[in-house]
Chain A
Amino acid sequence: GAVVSQHPSRVICKSGTSVKIECRSLDFQATTMFWYRQFPKQSLMLMATSNEGSKATYEQGVEKDKFLINHASLTLSTLTVTSAHPEDSSFYICSARAPTGSGNTIYFGEGSWLTVV
């Protein structure tokens, strides 16, 4: 079945640095990917919708200059957390919409744990 992969699964970075998380659709082309954030024991909150070849659409309250999203190809979207701070520590999950013929549903990656120290 369709698979969405995230890398890295866990990352620790120092406060003030930037960190990049990759989301790949492994066996289908995804024109649209979604980035979510999940705090411990809470639900998933949509951060932004990533569209291949165009700017991402951010949800209200999400800082687009802090959470940079690039969807450079049909199989890869990246989330860069810039000037990270401890409050950015969270579980980040991406999802990708598979087209008709490849499941025609939304698949999620394994998630990436970010810890900012």
Chain B
Amino acid sequence: AQSVTQLGSHVSVSEGALVLLRCNYSSSVPPYLFWYVQYPNQGLQLLLKYTTGATLVKGINGFEAEFKKSETSFHLTKPSAHMSDAAEYFCAVSGGYNKLIFGAGTRLAVHP
């Protein structure tokens, strides 16, 4: 069985500040981990994914995430927030490229 916990349903940062969105997972098999972004009334766009290999994964729009097995975490970071980063972010886990189990989501607000 797999599950995802995203800590903080809402995160607010200033433009230019560090973005940190937290994700912890549980999985009975080696996990594949994903971060998706969703803008209002739109589908999901893949930001980055971890499958195997390097634990620090770089994605689009300057985002990156680090897989820490000992902490069962896959936190998403971006050094400097931009106004266009305001959106809903979902962390997801799967056992291989199968059905994804999503976290509850974190709404990121970026203020001037």
Contact = CB atoms under 8 A, between A and B. Distances in A.
A28 interface: no
Nearest to A100: B97
Interface string A102-117: 0011111111010000
A75 interface: no
B61 to A, nearest CB: 15
Contacts of B43: 6, 93, 108-111
Interface in B15-45: 34, 36, 41-45
A105 B45 CA distance: 12
Contacts of A77: none
A93 B44 contact: yes
Contact of B41 (A95, A105, A113): A113
B49 interface: yes
A42 interface: yes
A111 B41 CA distance: 8
Interface stretch (B66-74, B78-86, B98-106): B98-106
Interface size class of A (residues with CB under 8 A): 20 to 34
A111 B94 CA distance: 21
A106 B100 contact: yes
Contacts, number: 50
Interface residues of B, number: 20
Given A6-B43, A93-B43, A108-B43, A43 B103 contact: yes
B46 interface: yes
Contact of B104 (A42, A95, A107, A113): A42
Interface in A29-57: 32, 34, 42-46, 49
Contacts of B97: 97, 104-106
Interface string B42-72: 1111100100000000000000000000000
A105 B41 CA distance: 23
B37 to A, nearest CB: 11
A95 B42 contact: no
A43 B99 contact: no
Contacts of A42: 104-105
Contacts of B100: 34, 44, 46, 95, 106
